[in-house]
């Protein structure tokens, strides 16, 4: 059930008594559902904002109402789990109160967590003996690690994304079982994933580690990680660090001939499904399907890319660019959740500046193009208005930056011109010489 503990609503609100349930809509709804032994079904609407952490000490199940095209939004200082709890198609945002820096979800002794198709703006912390299973869930914006687990009983992640966290994307210490498949760890301040201590059976397969502030994967001394078909690219300090061991496939062998992948085609400006035709010493040869109206043919030499519905023989060509081919192509694992263009793409700046309404819809947990088309007109208009405002702010910032750069350049030019000989150039003295 939902209770008040030393770390619960009474302590966080500093009232010494139970916080008024009128100011805690999610806690009240959850308590009613637990008391009636029912699942809590939440419709999409205005965010449910709670003023205190919600401790859950009885089994609970929270999910979006059937047919919801967007997940309901919960804004609260945190959730403390000490029982089996399940979330499905829910967006949770950390609402920090005061200077206390809690994780968004903390799983304590006796608790377990299951999340499917969720969006979290804040971190998850697992204490000893707990477990968590996440599927198609995005974790971002944590002030520490995206997911921190100290001696967990069982932790599995499948098709998840952990990005833009102020620590590691995933930090696991000891533990019995760790299984990570088809996940993306990107743009985290420290390592994409860190495994330290005796982490038991740890396995990474089909994962992407990119643009992290330190290493893509750090395996500490005494740890052993089973590794297969994972891609590391663009991490600041390197791909793999630490004195632990990687067992199985080499960390730089992410693809084999015949593997499915996605490819960024610069002339198309999109990530498209593709197939690896051949693995060369320092590159991949791929076949991608692109819209027939777009010409991506090379002017000379064998064609690397083919238009859709065209059958072509495998080209023989030695390419020297790591994980890319001539003509502006980048290769990723098929379930990589990266949506931004590669760092070398000329379209990256535009992507960062321009945010379409559909992209904002996807980031809030929208379920694809069909769901976008079926979205209520008022809800779609809200996303369109938000996108216009963000684009206008970005344009204003860009214009201001360009103006400041121009002024700085003019000032620099003026400073470089020789000063005219005039009395104003020299400081006057009050004393006669």
Q: What is the mean pLDDT of residues 37-51?
A: 91
**Cα–Cα distance, 311 to 243 (Å, whole number):** 47
Query: Binning pLDDT at 50, 70 and 90, where does residue 418 land?
Result: very low
Contact 133, 159 (CB under 8 A): no
Higher-pLDDT residue of 294 and 239 is 239
Higher-pLDDT residue of 258 and 432 is 258
Query: Binning pLDDT at 50, 70 and 90, where does residue 324 land?
Result: very low
Q: Where are the domains of the chain?
A: 9-248, 260-338, 354-401
Q: What is the mean pLDDT of residues 316-329?
A: 41
Q: In terms of Cα–Cα distance, which of 118, 111, 150 is closest to 134?
A: 118
Summarize pLDDT for 118-147 with one digit per residue, the tens.
999 999 999 999 999 999 999 999 999 999
pLDDT at 251: 57
In Å, how far are 141, 200, 267 from 76, measured between CA atoms? 15, 34, 44
pLDDT at 307: 31
Contact 106, 81 (CB under 8 A): yes
Domain at 9-248: CATH code:
2.160.20
Query: Binning pLDDT at 50, 70 and 90, where does residue 8 land?
Result: very low
Query: Binning pLDDT at 50, 70 and 90, where does residue 395 land?
Result: low
pLDDT beyond 80 at 362: no
Query: Binning pLDDT at 50, 70 and 90, where does residue 329 land?
Result: confident
Summarize pLDDT for 423-432 with one digit per residue, the tens.
333 333 333 3
Q: What is the mean pLDDT of residues 192-204?
A: 84
Query: Binning pLDDT at 50, 70 and 90, where does residue 298 land?
Result: very low
User: In sequence order, what DSSP letters do the residues of 162-221 get, joined into one string?
Assistant: EES-SS-SEEEES-SEEEEES-EEES-SS-SEEEES---EEEEES-EEES-SSEEEEE-T
Higher-pLDDT residue of 276 and 33 is 33
Q: Is the pTM of this model over 0.85?
A: no
């Amino acid at each position: 059930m939902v209770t008040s503990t030393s770390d619960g609503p009474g302590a966080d609100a500093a009232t010494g008594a139970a916080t008024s349930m009128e100011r805690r809509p999610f806690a009240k709804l959850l308590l009613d559902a637990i008391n009636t032994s029912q699942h809590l079904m939440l419709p999409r609407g205005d965010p449910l904002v709670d003023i205190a952490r919600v401790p859950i000490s009885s089994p609970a199940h929270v999910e979006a109402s059937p047919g919801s095209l967007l997940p309901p939004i919960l804004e609260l200082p945190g959730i403390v789990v000490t029982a089996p709890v399940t979330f499905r198609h829910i967006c949770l945002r950390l609402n920090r109160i005061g200077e206390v820096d809690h994780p968004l979800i903390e799983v304590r002794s006796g608790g377990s967590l299951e999340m499917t198709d969720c969006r979290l703006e804040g971190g998850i912390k697992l204490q000893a003996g707990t477990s968590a299973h996440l599927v198609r869930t995005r974790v971002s914006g944590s002030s520490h690690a995206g997911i921190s687990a100290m001696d967990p009983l069982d932790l599995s992640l499948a098709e998840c994304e952990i990005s833009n966290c102020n620590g590691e994307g995933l930090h696991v210490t000891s533990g019995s079982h760790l299984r990570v498949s088809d996940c993306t760890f990107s743009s985290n301040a420290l390592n994409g994933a860190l495994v330290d201590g005796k982490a038991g059976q740890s396995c990474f397969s089909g994962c992407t580690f990119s643009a992290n502030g330190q290493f893509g994967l750090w395996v500490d001394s005494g740890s052993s990680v089973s590794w297969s078909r994972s891609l590391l690219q663009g991490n600041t300090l390197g791909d793999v660090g630490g004195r632990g061991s990687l067992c199985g496939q080499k960390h730089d062998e992410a693809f084999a001939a015949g593997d499915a992948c996605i490819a960024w085609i610069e002339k198309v400006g999109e990530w498209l499904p593709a197939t690896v035709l051949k693995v060369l010493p320092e590159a991949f040869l791929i076949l991608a399907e692109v819209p027939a109206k777009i010409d991506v043919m090379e002017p000379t030499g064998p064609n690397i890319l083919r238009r859709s519905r065209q059958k072509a023989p495998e080209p023989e060509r030695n390419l020297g660019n790591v994980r890319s081919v001539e003509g502006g192509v980048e290769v990723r694992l098929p379930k990589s959740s990266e949506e931004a263009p590669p760092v070398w793409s000329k379209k990256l700046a535009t992507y960062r500046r321009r945010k379409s309404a559909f992209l904002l819809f996807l980031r809030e947990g929208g379920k694809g193009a069909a769901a976008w088309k079926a979205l209520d007109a008022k809800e779609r208009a809200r996303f369109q208005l938000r996108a216009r405002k963000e684009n206008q702010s970005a344009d204003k910032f860009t214009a201001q930056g360009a103006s400041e750069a121009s002024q700085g350049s003019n000032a620099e030019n003026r400073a470089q011109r020789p000063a005219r000989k005039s009395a104003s150039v020299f400081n006057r003295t009050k004393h006669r010489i």
